[in-house]
Chains A and B, each alone.
Chain A
Amino acid sequence: MSVRAPAAAEIPDGVVRHRLSGEDGIRWALVAAFAAVLLLFLLYPLGQVLWRSLLDNGGRFIGAANYIRYFSTPAIAASITNSLFVSAASMVLTVALAFGYAYALTRTQMPAKGLLRVIAMLPLFAPSLVQAFALIYVFGNNGILTRATGLNVGIYGAKGIILAETFYCFPHALLILMAALAATDARLYDAARTLGAGPLKTFLTVTLPGVKYGVVSACFVVFTLAITDFGAPKAIGGKFSVMATEIYNQVSGQQNFTMGATVSVVLLVPAVLAFVVDRLVQRRQYALVTSSSKPLVPERRPLADWSLLAYCALIAGFILAIYLVILVSSLVHRWPYNFGLTLKHYDFDTAGGYRSLWNSIRVAALTAVAGTALAFVGGYVVEKCRTAASGPLYLLSVLPVSVPGMVLGLAYIFTFNAPGSPLNALYGTLAILIISNVVHYFTVGFLTATTALKQMDAEFENVGASLGVPFYRTFWRVTVPIALPSIVAISMYFFLNAMVTLSAVVFIIAPGTELAAVAVLLMDDAGDTAQAAAMSVLIIATGLAVRSVYWLAMRGVTRRTQAWTQGGAAVGEPS
């Protein structure tokens, strides 16, 4: 043919612009609003922490002097190695224990799987302090075991922190490992068997390689949770100082804000590092499950089934024991001296009554609403309104997962309690607590939303546009209804975390905005351990109750609005 083919260089780089419509205005407004929220409530406050770590307490710039002091003061510097040690130990212990549990739940025919699964999730409903309380009630100086045996195991310190973190992080690791173990292809196991591989060889060559990314992910999640946790080391750490408690001591104890900022910046390093490495590792993961995969139906193996059941029952027993100890200690006159039943600890006479619980429930509910809306709209903006801002907005959205709660809390003091700043209006309100929760837990909600949006047919918006329907209408009539299960899951996640979080809010509560989890901390500090246990019970009960209501409601909602999912393969997926 005689067509003259232009070279790449002859084709202009710019594309032919479309005329801007009202819809584009709305799209850009959404992008701008989302960017503004992330900049104002995440990037700017974090910048404040970084900046303050370079100043002295009088506000003069002193460069790296704070860092030099931090690293050269042995008492403070020890918190770094202490943090790394307990986090690494918790990581190894948790992932090892959770792997066996996850394997039993996904790859065996043992009985009582549902119940064991529910029990393992219990720590999600409790502040991290609670695990530590229970350990103290049992192994502490006045613990029942200590008194019964006369043997003091020295639970205060590294041992106690590691154990408490292990229970606290267990469900997080379990969820990741179960997902990894569930995503497999039965044909791989058939192939291994036809090639004559025994159970051990199959485990080593098929099972383990298939879940290695899940294991890596679980390790990083547990490490990050443990190193950023404040509640457990505060309650059971004793004189064993970790970075999160060090920030608290510097800020709350010594009013040394700049040293608090310095420790915060140093604490950001391992958390961000863990996150980046995890991302790099996950990028190498390939899809194990394709549309032609056959689900693996575990066979009955009596020996393995029953021994794994015993193993799981042991762990579940420990978890149940924790909450039983807390429940009992809240209901008796004086643990462990007087086991007479009483409800007097539920009066909260010294701690302002039930106001903190109501505040917590309000904050959690509003966090669920605001967080879900922001995460879903943010996910939509990044995923569907492809603009030059998508990349940076995505990065900002996944940043919070590696920002420790203490650091975010301190950042909010610097930002919203700065003399003369218009942002001060927020200080001392419930709104700032809600904002801090939304930002603190934003990443998981955001990633859940983008995953749900990615699974939708990319052409929905295009079909809408071709039919002359504005994108926001398609968003409301199609995108949101389809993603409803994810939206509910996101709101549940925000609610439960807002109920139990301590680290991000402990610095920014004010008179009138006390929260239940902080009340637990303060009551424990004041020696009212029974009241602290009682409040913990109420926090857990609230979480469980809301979770159950959600579950029941979702069954109904699913039946009505997701009727279309019945009786057919996934729609809108190109085959």
Chain B
Amino acid sequence: MRGSAPVPAAVALEGIAKKFGAYVALRDITLSVSAGEFICFLGPSGCGKTTLLRIIAGLERQNAGTVRMGGRDVSGLPPALRNYGIVFQSYALFPNLTVSRNVAYGLESRRMSAAAIARRVDELLALVGLARHKDKYPAQLSGGEQQRVALARALAPSPALLLLDEPLSALDARVRQSLRHEIRGLQRRLGVTTVMVTHDQEEALAMADRIVVMNAGLVEQVGAPAEVYRRPWTPFVARFVGQMNFLSAVAAGRSGWARVGAVELRHQPGFEAAPGDALTLAIRPEEITVGPAALHGDNRLTARITAVQFLGAFTRLSLAPVEDEGADGRTALECDVAATAFAELGVGEGADLPIALAPEALRAFPASGPAA
């Protein structure tokens, strides 16, 4: 990443807190975004991610903390003086202005000649591939096209920062996928620092340089997508980003081992708990090894297949470890197997299957985690 450059951070948040009446929306958020970086605020609705974006934009005023842009303290500046472009979920295109007038909107109040404005508008419309729609009204465009106009309008005055507030949420799945790609490409080409808010973890994983996972007004984890996915810091992150199986366990006598029902499992090193402490183990569905391959691994178990869901490229198995039979089913596991691999197994519902929970994939958290 570019974070090590000596230039000041494009956006630096320090101790941002916000409350609405008695409701605390954000608690002491400190964060920095490097120049040219694409960062995603990810979290469920109500986690404070949009409020944080609006505080950066100056559309919401924080109760405490400072916002800096490129080293300049902008905490006290109204939105118009902060130099950013913003795209909203609703597009917020001006319906009475044509596409080119929309894009020109932010240029017309600057000292620019009409010819220079027209050139800039053409340039941006070409960039988002809408040159031939310049004289249409927003209502005559599809949702994806409208959102691209909104993007062009936000970028027209060459802002130092681009803010995207759930820009893809109002679009249907297929358009969302292609526009995701397009926005990311555009951002790379222009090198504009970008902050995007989303509740869609797949979107965040696919687009961001770094993800800021938020929950209940707090930052749970900041990291590159692969890092957040592989090494979630909290059970909340583990659950929110990707799929995750959770197992209630008790720390065993040996360090690095935990007991689930009757079996002892070895988990990732680096987590210490006193013997007898409750903890939560977590493993992703695709990390569970099944069939003959499982016979050689550590943490071997036998599991009964209780349900099979065909999901196209892979098959999701619901498993109940046989060792745990008679318990209340808390240790039910879901496991994703490639469709072809599942066919090779030649088993179906009700069959028993050897499985292994690789210790390097089996994460351990304190049992009191918010989502455990």
Interface residues of A (CB under 8 A from B): 1, 3-6, 8, 11-19, 21, 23-24, 457, 459-460, 462-470, 473, 477-478, 481-482, 561-569, 571-575
Contact = CB atoms under 8 A, between A and B. Distances in A.
Contacts of B163: 466
A8 B153 contact: no
B236 to A, nearest CB: 10
A376 B306 CA distance: 64
A1 B138 contact: no
14 contacts: A1-B218, A3-B219, A6-B17, A12-B63, A16-B76, A18-B76, A19-B77, A21-B81, A23-B80, A465-B58, A469-B109, A470-B80, A564-B137, A574-B170
A17 B78 CA distance: 9
B88 A463 contact: yes
B90 A459 contact: yes
Q: Which of B64, B85, B138 gathers the greatest number of chain A CB atoms within 10 Å? A: B64
Given A457-B92, A463-B88, A468 B64 contact: no
Given A11-B19, A469-B109, A23 B78 contact: yes
Contact of A468 (B24, B62, B106, B170): B106
A572 B110 CA distance: 25
Contacts of A8: 19, 22-24
A21 B76 CA distance: 11
Interface residues on B, range: 35 or more
Interface in B70-127: 75-82, 84-86, 88-97, 105-106, 108-110
A331 B81 CA distance: 69
A572 B92 contact: yes
A127 to B, nearest CB: 38
Contacts of B86: 462-463, 466
Contact of B140 (A24, A464, A470, A568): A568
A571 B154 contact: no
B138 A15 contact: no
A497 B328 CA distance: 74
A565 B84 CA distance: 30
A467 B81 contact: no
Given A467-B157, A468-B106, A571 B95 contact: yes
Contacts of B96: 478, 481-482, 561-562, 564
Interface of B: 17-19, 22-24, 27-28, 57-59, 61-65, 75-82, 84-86, 88-97, 105-106, 108-110, 137-141, 146, 153-154, 156-157, 159, 163, 170, 217-221, 233-234
B91 A468 contact: no
User: What 8 A-B pairs are tightest by C-beta distance, nearest first?
Assistant: A568-B139, A467-B106, A564-B137, A15-B61, A459-B92, A465-B79, A571-B95, A574-B90
B157 to A, nearest CB: 6
Given A15-B63, A469-B105, A568-B140, 13 more contacts: A1-B219, A6-B28, A16-B75, A462-B57, A462-B79, A463-B88, A463-B153, A466-B106, A466-B163, A468-B106, A481-B96, A561-B96, A574-B89
Contacts of B27: 3, 5-6, 11
Contacts of B80: 21, 23, 465-466, 468-470
A155 B140 CA distance: 60
Nearest to B236: A1
A573 B143 CA distance: 11
A414 B141 CA distance: 59
B95 A17 contact: no
Nearest to A466: B86
A45 to B, nearest CB: 37
Nearest to B58: A18
A138 B59 CA distance: 65
Contacts of A470: 80, 109
B340 to A, nearest CB: 39
B177 to A, nearest CB: 18
B17 A11 contact: yes
A540 to B, nearest CB: 36
Nearest to B220: A1
A1 B17 contact: no
B62 to A, nearest CB: 5
A470 B105 CA distance: 11
A1 B234 contact: yes
A571 B218 contact: no
B41 to A, nearest CB: 16
A477 B81 CA distance: 21
A23 to B, nearest CB: 7
Contacts of A571: 91, 93, 95, 138-139, 146
Contacts of B217: 5
B366 to A, nearest CB: 12
B95 A5 contact: no
Given A21-B78, A23-B78, A467 B63 contact: no
A4 B28 contact: yes
Contact of B97 (A3, A12, A17, A478): A478
B139 A3 contact: no
Nearest to B108: A469
Contact of B94 (A17, A460, A573, A574): A460
Contacts of B97: 477-478, 564
Contact of A16 (B19, B63, B221): B63
A13 B139 CA distance: 42
Contacts of B18: 11
Contacts of A482: 94-96
Nearest to B106: A467
Nearest to B89: A574
B63 A473 contact: no
Given A1-B234, A462-B79, A18 B61 contact: yes
